[in-house]
Amino acid sequence: MLNILNNTANYWINHLQLAPHPEGGYYKETFRSKNEIIRVNESEKKNACTSIYYLLEGYDFSGFHRLKSDEIWYFHKGEPIFIHIITSKGNYDCIELSDSSSGQLQAIVEANCWFAANIPSKSGFSLASCAVAPGFDFVEFEMAKKTSLLAEYPEHEAIVKELCRD
């Protein structure tokens, strides 16, 4: 029998012990590889991979940010999530992460791309996981500044204004 309580954001935030994330939403790191790698042309060792749970609800969103590593998103449950990506060449893409026929169960965001995520319906919640390789490090996490992003990519003004936190 399905417990109606496990179909709420609060249930999953408490059950998975999620904490607020600086980009928006809630998260908890679930894995950090003990294996280490060194990127080409760098000397610092990095964890090979990390993984988190990530939850968005209602009007909240993941503000535009970028990482020095690739990130793979995996859909678990809830409303569709739109992942908005602006590449370094200025190309824009929107990927629907969902279990519906119009969506994908996983989405890849390549390193150094600006990206943000939201629930287009602005209702309910979405629970996903994100794997980052080489592993996530807040030192390599950069939140976008709205004025800078608009100056660099004026053609994407509407989505930048909607999903940039500063």
pLDDT one-digit tens code per residue, 99-113:
999 999 999 999 999
Residue type, 69: S
pLDDT one-digit tens code per residue, 49-98:
999 999 999 999 999 999 999 999 999 999 999 999 999 899 999 999 99
pLDDT one-digit tens code per residue, 105-140:
999 999 999 999 999 999 999 999 999 999 999 999
The partner residues of 30 in beta bridges, in order of sequence, read none
Query: Where are the chain's structural domains?
Result: 9-163
pLDDT one-digit tens code per residue, 12-49:
999 999 999 999 999 999 999 999 999 999 999 999 99
Query: What span, in angstroms and rounded, lies between the C-alpha atoms of 74 and 80?
Result: 12
What number of other Cβ atoms are within 10 A of residue 159's Cβ?
Answer: 18
pLDDT for residue 5 is more than 70: no
Q: State residue 1's pLDDT score.
A: 43
Q: State residue 112's pLDDT score.
A: 97
pLDDT for residue 3 is more than 50: yes
CATH code for the domain defined by 9-163? 2.60.120.10
Beta strands in the chain (DSSP E): 19-20, 26-32, 36-38, 45-47, 50-57, 61-67, 70-78, 81-86, 92-97, 106-109, 114-118, 125-133, 141-143
